[in-house]
Structure 1
Amino acid sequence: MTILSIILQVLLGLGFLMFGFMKLGSQQMVEGFKNYGYPAWFRVFTGVVELAAAVLVIAGIWNSALAAWGGLVIVVTMLGAIFTHIKIEDAVKDLMMPIILLFLGLIVLVINFGSLI
């Protein structure tokens, strides 16, 4: 495990804890998901997935297989977020955070991928 991976895992873990809890309780997220055309249950599902990703990448500090799985969950989740922003024709600036998080998750996945084999 590299220092880069640990730093990214801590940042992604804390970020996805925040994002996940926001999806579960923030009125802004409720309105956002309505704007995206998604039902309320999908917002809750997304929040739970993001919390699971956070737990995986943080636990991955001690178990690199968990880091790889967490990175994969982040990559898939951010692909969905990017697709959503494209679908509703959001501004490019609204795509930047999901793209950055996609690449950070991909880095964690690639660094820890060997532990999955």
Structure 2
Amino acid sequence: MEIIIKVLQGIVGLSILNVWLIQYNKPTRWRGGDAKTILEEFKAYGLPAWFCYVVGTLKVVLAIMLITAIWYPDLKLAAASGLALLLAGSVSMHFKINDPIIKSFPASLFLAMCIIIIFYG
């Protein structure tokens, strides 16, 4: 189980970094509403631009912590718990604006992975 947890840590961490550092200005099918970028997505949710930067910074820091926790396990619970909380917020925002359920799939999947890391890691 230890190897599976480490793999999940890598998947979640690298995926979050990809979204926030590489794909942030690119349209994807997962964006909320009709948004083409992360800033537009936060606007679609009715959230201010500054909140996007706060959430983005938290997600990047927590993703790096989750990856680092592969070698420094003391970071794992805090990183996975923080990401789980933020990902639950992501899922709820999709529901708030009545997005099709498929748009919340990645956030839901990564949330489930974080929960597994929290309880089985």
Q: TM-score range by the shorter chain?
A: 0.7 to 0.9
Does 2:105 align with 1:102? Answer: no
CA distance in 2, matches of 1:49, 1:98: 15
Structure 1 residue runs of 5 or longer lacking an equivalent are 113-117
Cα deviation for residue 12 of structure 1 reads 1.0
Is there any run of 5+ residues in structure 2 with no aligned partner, and where? Answer: 26-35
The answer to which structure has the higher helix fraction is 1
The letter of the residue matching 2:80 is G
CA deviations over 1:54-82 (Å, ceiling 9, x no partner): 11111111122211111101110111011
User: Which residue in the other structure is 1:61 paired with?
Assistant: 70
Give TM-score, length-normalised by structure 1: 0.86
Give 1:50's aligned residue. Answer: 59
Q: What number of residue pairs does the alignment pair up?
A: 111
Who is 2:30 aligned against?
A: none
1:81 aligns with 2:90: yes
Distance 2:41 2:91 in 1: 14
Return the letter of the residue paired with 1:11: I
CA distance in 2, matches of 1:87, 1:21: 25
1:31-70 Cα offsets, whole Å, 9 max, x none, are 1111111100011111101101111111111122211111
TM-score by length of 2: 0.83
Could you list the runs of 4 or more consecutive aligned residues of structure 1 that deviate by over 3 angstroms after TM superposition? none
Contact preservation (8 Å) 1:72, 1:109: yes
Q: What is the deviation of 1:83?
A: 1.1
Q: Judge conservation of contact 1:57–1:66 (CA < 8 Å) in 2.
A: yes
- Residue 41 (1) aligns with residue 46 (2): no
